[in-house]
Structure 1
């Protein structure tokens, strides 16, 4: 019997007819893309699985009414102008069908004193309306209990984010690309949207400190830079200007690639530089998988979630303690090979594992 893996266990898989999988939202949004990836893998396991693209979230209720069971990937930012509106929409869906949900972007302290209570209330309404709830990490499951989104005795399934089946093992190409790096260049790569709290500012400051330490040790650096692989998220264009001003003050060259197509994005991750994930409030990050799928081992600020991912995919990231990023950058600069995964590194669970785990869970949800 095939198996699927969550953060800590392997469980037997028994096939089950899945609910209708509803997809909605902008095609390039991370949650939407992941929901599509999972749905495609479910359909590979069961060609009769129903996948429905709903162009406007307002149409979800009418579409859901046509099926006895549906599953929806939920983030409040996709389903309404605020968590209250998103929760009301999900409640209406649950009124017309048996609804299960995967919760993304779960509430946590980084939401701030104003938004955290609103998001907690909204997600609590979503969880109460759903017949079953999935999250993508044990850290997220704990956050739901810690912030009273669900009661401690509510069963919440953990199905980790899955690697692309085509990237189930790390490629051999990344280590070769590192050989092209200028020996006197200190370049940090940060993947994903630019927005407050993502850690770009921490990386700029740390690169400046690391550069000073390397120069003090006698190394002449021809280039000191941070490359933001991606562009600002909607409404945060001014944050790039503030980040650039901070970089200029510290003698760091900031390069922002802007939005990239998939191949250009992957190529940027494989390129010369030290991969860094400095976001201190990660709770489920596709970015860590993006790095691994391109054969890179990123520096990742230590947290409960980072420790969980280090245990799930051993050897695929290099944790550093908060405040010690300059030291981690110096070490990585001295040992570029430490930022590349050995070819063939196992990146499981894959999306195929995830799809199998969902089918097992739906059988009892």
Structure 2
């Protein structure tokens, strides 16, 4: 009779079991700037991941010196008074912690030669300081690689909220609206040019305020609009708790960026239940494929005709019932938790 094989000595048993190491979650940094879209994005994602995982810690950037790992959302205007000082700030964090970074507002030709050169060098320094790099779209990753070469970067799309329902009664303001901070290239001038060709003309409203440093350019565009017979106004900063309702009051929502890396304002229109008229480019085509039915893509020279059609048929400017705005905030938070687990 064959004897049963002997069991391993108790001292050897632990060595036969798989070793599961705990995930080291990064401390999530934000700047405490409630009026900056990138910092608001960082804060909302941090809150969502913290709700899904109790180990997530959120700190202002100066309070994470004890952290083994950190994750931050970077655009140079958020992290410093200049591209160079913004890169200095991230390198200082990387001197004491392992860094993951989500890049926003990736440098591109529309920055202008001098600005693009300085911003590109700053982003290069940030990428070199980071162990994990994330972009918000494939288009944005392509811009990053065009600027810096073959950078390894993950893609996690910006989240959109589930859309508010179409109102039963609607008394729109007589305006074409562009949502978010004003800066050159955001699409305000394109909106002015489009409505200037309409009879009768309609007002253009910038829902938001000028980005820091661009106040004079907003005033200049207002003079340009007036010369074309168009009234252009800006609401000033609109807090989150009133932003979507303000967006729902506009007659025609427009997203007409000529140069864009990723757009939180597009997602705000969608969250408001609106289907904005959007000038086609690689990014917006990518977003139209990601969220079918949520935008009306037109060529730049077709913007005026699309605005005129929307004024005649306002239903075009509201999301269809079967439109999906996913990925939502929890989807994006889960994607980050997966990235950190694999880091």
Q: TM (normalized to structure 2)?
A: 0.88
Deviation per CA, 1:267-308: give whole Å up to 9, x if none.
221014110011111211110110011110001111110001
> Given the alignment, which residue of 40, 56, 73 partners 1:49?
56
Structure 1 residue aligned with 2:135? 135
Aligned length: 322
Q: Residues of 2 paired with 1:118 and 1:53: CA distance?
A: 26
Two-structure CA RMSD over aligned residues (Å) = 1.9
**Alignment TM-score, normalising by the size of structure 1:** 0.83
Please say if residues 292 and 323 of structure 2, whose CA atoms lie closer than 8 Å, have aligned partners that are also in contact: no
In structure 2, what is the equivalent of residue 114 of structure 1? 114
User: Which structure 1 segments of 5+ residues have no match?
Assistant: 1-14, 213-220
Asked whether the 8 Å contact 1:194–1:233 carries over to 2, the reply is yes
Do 1:225 and 1:252's aligned partners in 2 also have CA atoms closer than 8 Å? Answer: yes
Q: CA deviation at 1:194?
A: 1.9
1:172 to 154, 165, 174: 165
Specify which structure has the bigger relative contact order, considering alpha-carbon pairs within 8 angstroms and separated by 6 or more residues.
1
Q: CA shift at 1:160, angstroms?
A: 0.5
1:263 to 1:68, Cα distance in 2 relative to 1, 3 A: closer
Q: Deviations over 1:153-186 (max 9, x none)?
A: x42100000123xxx2x22234x35x4248xx5x
Shift of 1:16: 4.5
Q: Does 1:99 align with 2:106?
A: no
Tell me the distance in 2 between the aligned counterparts of 1:354 and 1:330.
36
Q: Partner residue of 2:6?
A: none
SS across alignment from 1:100: strand
Name segments (4+ residues, structure 1) moved above 6 Å: none
**1:260 to partner: Cα distance:** 2.0
Q: Contact (CA 8 Å) 1:25, 1:78: kept in 2 or not?
A: no
Take 2:327 and 2:217, find their aligned partners in 1: how far apart are those partners?
35
Per-residue deviation at 1:46?
0.7
Give the Å deviation of 1:344: 5.9
Secondary structure at the aligned position of 2:182 is classed as coil
Q: 2:233 aligns with which of 255, 261, 277?
A: 255
Alignment equivalent of 2:34, drawn from 20, 27, 39: 27
Structure 2 unaligned blocks of 5 or more: 1-21
Map of 2:155 onto structure 1: 158
